[in-house]
Structure 1
Amino acid sequence: MITAALTIPFVVGLALLFLRKLVAGRTAAWLGTVAMTAALVLFALVWEGKDKISGEVDVAWIDPLGARLHLGATALSWPFLLMTAFIGVLCCVWLIADDTAPALVGLVLIISASSLGVFASLDLLLFFVFFELALIPMWFVIAWWGSSTVRSSGHLDDGSGFKNVPAEVTARSAATRFLLFTVTGSALLLVGIVLVARDSRSLQLTEIGGGPLAAAILIVLGFAVKTPLVPLHTWLPDAHSKAPTVGSVLLAAVFLKLGTYGLIITSTLLSESFADVAPYVAGAGVVGIIWSALACYAQDDLKRLIAFSSIGHMGFVALAISTMTDIGIAAAVFGSVAHGLVTGLLFFLSGSLKDRFGTASMRVIGRGLYARTPWLAVAFVFAAVASLGLPGLAGFWGELLSLRAAYEVGDVLSKPYAWTVLGFAVLGVALTTAYFVRAIRLLAQGEPVAQDVDRDLDLRESVVGFALVASIVVLGLAPGLIVGLYDFQPVAVGAVTP
């Protein structure tokens, strides 16, 4: 099943790239939707239980290196597999339009299939190959279908804070910066993998029992670029603000999770070496929480605000991972999945606004969306309060479990240090609330100033929005669907099981 779940979207994606002149855009999007739905169903059906490797495939590949085509779904990877396939389905649904480029649908499928391969890999070399496969397609998504506006640093021609420039200049610049950062991180990751393989004499995740400190440092740095952790985050805001809607969604919901998932498996496979690095991971995570919140409060561009908020949310995930406890692992997985769903919804909605107004500037979009586009406003406010951690929604549990992991300290971080970073993380929660409330006030509330382009959610946008809203509510009310996969189970939801 796993082989088919990876092969179907990859093959359909390649076919759409090669036959892009023969297939209509709407047809391509429907084909992509069917392919990703098939992958989602197969990954859901493959599950055999949290104590097993579900759907395991293990065949010879490169014998001299000891590399194998080793795939399977574990308790750590299964939630990521389901979320990635689900987001892939919604991205294809979003592209169901007459003006959609079949090549864009093909790239979305290849990126999704490659990311699924990362989460399903049980061989480090195979993991790295899939990890790299998604990079080049994402460059094309950003560079070829990216935004044609940039923030002006000189005289403002129209008073909006933006001016038009050639898309191939700004979008390609952001795409290239993204590629350079991630390729550099990948180089560090590859060296770390070589060191681990030499020390363990194996590339199989099921056989690796440790590795040298140098390997842990290199691998953590490689994944820190992808997560991203401060100060390796500077590629993210520009990439998000220039990417098309589906590109931003994939970056936030899937690409960033390649980094957090990598950090999670590193903390479990290289536990002794990672313990020496963990305090720095916690520190970088907390710095990201505070710094990104302050940066968000200064943003006018909605897509840049959401991009900076992702850095903060990944900071909570990094803090949870650094505790190296059962609750920390549960918090990291839940926080990653919750962020993928909530931020995916935010980027879909910001894309809707940008399609209507030609910009993501909150000042240009104007106030009073409750009166102008009521359903779009309600969906945006829902996504914002979910992202700031409102109880009863998925975002709440990711933050709460991360804070509890830091409070309980564990065996790696010292109590004074853990409680210090906990204090800063709590401050970050307050700052997160402040900047999202500001965004709600600037867009949804206030005296409405109607514009000719005001238009509420259409059918395609409503379907995607409802699917994500429902998922966020379900995980918020039944967190045990994910938390129950691990040894830790919070008392408040002890009766909730998958």
Structure 2
Amino acid sequence: MNVLLVLLLAVPLAGALVLLVSPRGWAQHRALPVGLAATALTLLDAVALAVHYARGSRSDVDAAWIPAIGLRFHLGVDGISLPLVLLTALLTTLCAAYLLRSAARPARPQAFVALLLLLEVGMLGTFVALDLLLFFVAFEIVLVPMYAVIAGWGGADRRPSARQFILYTLVGSGVMLVGLVLVGVAAGTLDMVVLAQRGGAGLSHTVQVVGFLAIAGGLAVKIPVWPLHSWLPDAHTAAPTVGSVLLAGVLLKMGTYGLVRIAVPILPEGAAAFAPVLGVLGVVGIVYAGLACLGQSNLKRLVAFSSIGHMGFVLLGISTLTAVGINAALFANIAHGVITGLLFFLVGGISERYGSTDMGRLGGGLLAATPRLGALVVFGAVASLGLPGLAGFWGEGLAVLAAFRPAAELPGGLYVALAAVAGVGMVLTAAYLLVMLRRVVYGVPRSSVPMPDMSRAELLTWSPLVAAVLVAGLWPAVVLGVTDGAVRALLGVR
């Protein structure tokens, strides 16, 4: 329904505006409840959109935005964007709920929650925008709130890390804008639906290749693709817990979503030309991340580096240019969002109790000292390594499978080699996660001082993510059944 689609952006925006214009005294005391109410209403709205989509109802908004230059406010959801909309709304609501705990309450809550809600507007806007320039605007809205969250509420080295984040992503955005404008001018429209239906018709080979290079190059910074990844570990390490959850759970997905929504269907000749490069970079990222994680001593930094490897599998799936590969990439996006979101929540809980995320200082024994928290860390780790029956298995496994049968125009021998190397990356993933469990979870606690186990509030906050990992792992059709039809329509295959 059109109203639901508008409310998806209007509710968090209204919540942010209420906090920004309210008297400081009132807002400081009411900021956290207002944030939870706004995010919860947005989640309910996203669920209602999903129900209407399941019933076959179309959700679309198309109105004049800047008539003088032909720009339109065009929004919509389909099987590609809907799972990401639900993921974004869920993680933002859980972050708002997490902040209600006294141990996690931020300083200056009025500003923090307003930034969180603005961040949600940008993230959701990116996934529902169907105009190239509107997509870019929503994409950019995300950058300033995330920069402010890291710089204002992060840990050690927060300001250098925030500056690195904003510089990398702004440069990437500038490159992407060049590609978007090139495509829009050459095609005579910025409508993503029309452009996808044309499938590159009317765009010369040169425009498609240059446009794809610029758009994919800009998006690669946000994914992040090796070797454009160096901002990510520092940003994650410095960010507060909810910043890390949203950075890993949603912001990285904006880059791969842009590839699937814009670059691949609109510029097929450019996609065919650069797909092997994307596949190689994705697999290099998988192996690099595995080796880097084996050398980490900081738990939060390890989880941050692991995201580079998991997103490498997403990139490998997209690079096959097949329905199986892109479905795998979309599934892996959702799985990574819920699993890594859970892991960053858990790392935040460990940091609150021990005052550190350094594995040497933690010294092991987490399971003995805090059995419920330790058990959940084990669950998150085995989900991340891709244990069958959990969400992490399907996306990455199907991405490797798709590499054995890439699109006909791609070099099959290269992709078989990429699949083999990605398999080595899976082994490295298992290795570093098992090493982490041995160093942090198992053994005897160093301190005899009792530690508080997982609280009821933490259990309520993290349980939806545990449930999502189990449901998606045991019933993958809950995601693949939504994405498959939209992916095939986007690629023009049955």
Partner of 2:148: 140
**Equivalent in the alignment of 1:464:** 461
Residues 54-453 of structure 1: pairs in structure 2 closer than 5 A: 54-98=58-102, 99-100=105-106, 101-148=109-156, 170-208=157-195, 209=198, 210=200, 211=203, 212=207, 213-265=209-261, 266-450=263-447, 452=449
SS of residue paired to 2:73: strand
SS of corresponding position for 2:74 = strand
Deviations 1:37-95 (A, max 9, x none): 21122122224447978320000011233210000111110111000000010000010
| Distance in 2 between residues matched to 1:408 and 1:237, nearest whole Å | 33
CA distance in 2, matches of 1:225, 1:52: 36
User: Do residues 28 (structure 1) and 31 (structure 2) align?
Assistant: yes
Distance in 2, matches of 1:51 and 1:401, equals 28
Instruction: Extract structure 1 runs of 4+ deviating beyond 6 A.
Output: 50-53
Separation in structure 1 between the aligned mates of residue 336 and residue 29 of structure 2, nearest angstrom: 29
In structure 1, how many angstroms separate the alpha carbons of the residues matched to 2:55 and 2:265? 16
Tell me the CA shift for residue 346 of structure 1. Answer: 0.3
What displacement does 1:461 show? 1.3
CA–CA distance in structure 1, aligned partners of residues 60 and 218 of structure 2: 27
Change (3 A) 1:475 1:23: farther
Corresponding letter in the other structure for 1:326 = A
Q: Distance in 1 between matches of 2:317 and 2:29?
A: 42
RMSD (Å) for aligned C-alpha atoms = 1.7
Take 1:487 and 1:80, find their aligned partners in 2: how far apart are those partners?
Answer: 14
Q: Relative to 1, partners in 2 of residues 1:473 and 1:172: Cα closer, same or farther, differing over 3 Å?
A: same
> Is the contact made by 1:326 and 1:486 (CA closer than 8 Å) also made in structure 2?
no
Residue 13 of structure 1, CA deviation: 1.8
Q: Is the Cα contact below 8 Å between 1:55 and 1:72 reproduced in 2?
A: yes
Q: In the aligned structure 1, how far is the partner of 2:23 from the partner of 2:330? A: 37
Indicate the SS of the match to 2:25.
coil
Identify the residue that residue 495 of structure 1 maps to in structure 2: none
**How far 1:26 sits from its partner (Å)?**
6.5
CA distance in 2, matches of 1:474, 1:279: 33
Deviations along 1:206-251, one digit per CA (max 9) or x if unpaired, are 1113252111000000100000000000000000000000000010
1:106-143 CA-to-partner distances (Å, cap 9, x unmatched) read 11111011100000001111110010011011111000
Residues 343 and 387 in structure 1, CA contact (< 8 A), matched pair in contact too: yes
Instruction: Tell me the secondary structure at the aligned position of residue 324 of structure 1.
Output: coil
The 1:53–1:194 alpha-carbon spacing in structure 2 relative to 1, beyond 3 Å, is: farther
How far the C-alpha of 1:453 sits from its partner, in A, is 6.8
Corresponding residue number in structure 2 for 1:167: none
Greater alpha carbon shift after TM alignment, 415-424 vs 453-462:
453-462
Aligned to 2:492: none
Report the more deviating stretch, 431-440 or 412-421: 412-421
Q: Which amino acid aligns with 1:250?
A: L
- Per mean C-alpha deviation after superposition, the further-off stretch among 284-293 and 1-10 is 1-10
Name the structure 2 match of 1:43.
Answer: 46
- Partners of 1:383 and 1:354 lie apart in 2 by 16
Is the partner of 1:448 in helix, strand or coil? coil
**What one-letter code is carried by the residue in structure 2 that aligns with 1:133?**
I
Name the aligned partner's letter for residue 124 of structure 1.
L
For the Cα contact (< 8 Å) 1:53–1:72, is it kept in 2? no
Aligned letter for 1:438?
V
User: Structure 1's 269 and 23: CA in aligned 2 closer, same or farther, altered over 3 A?
Assistant: farther
Q: 1:25 offset after TM fit, Å?
A: 5.4
The alpha carbon displacement at 1:104 in A equals 1.2
Question: 1 CA distance for matches of 2:359 and 2:217?
Answer: 35
Where 2:482 maps in the other structure, the secondary structure is: coil
Between the aligned residues of both structures, percent identity stands at 43
3-state SS, counterpart of residue 147 of structure 1? coil
Shifted more, 10-19 versus 42-51: the winner is 42-51
Code of the residue aligned with 1:241 in structure 2: it is T
**Unmatched 5+ residue regions in structure 2?**
487-494
**Partner residue in 1 for 2:490:** none
Contact 1:20 1:103 in 2 (8 A): no
Please report the TM-score for the alignment, with normalisation by the length of structure 1.
0.91
User: Which amino acid counterpart does residue 22 of structure 2 have in structure 1?
Assistant: L
CA distance in 2 between counterparts of 1:3 and 1:120 reads 10
> How far did 1:17 drift?
3.4
* Aligned-pair CA distance for 1:355: 1.4
Cα deviation 1:290-349 (Å, max 9, x = unaligned) = 001000000011111001000000000000000111111111110001000000000000
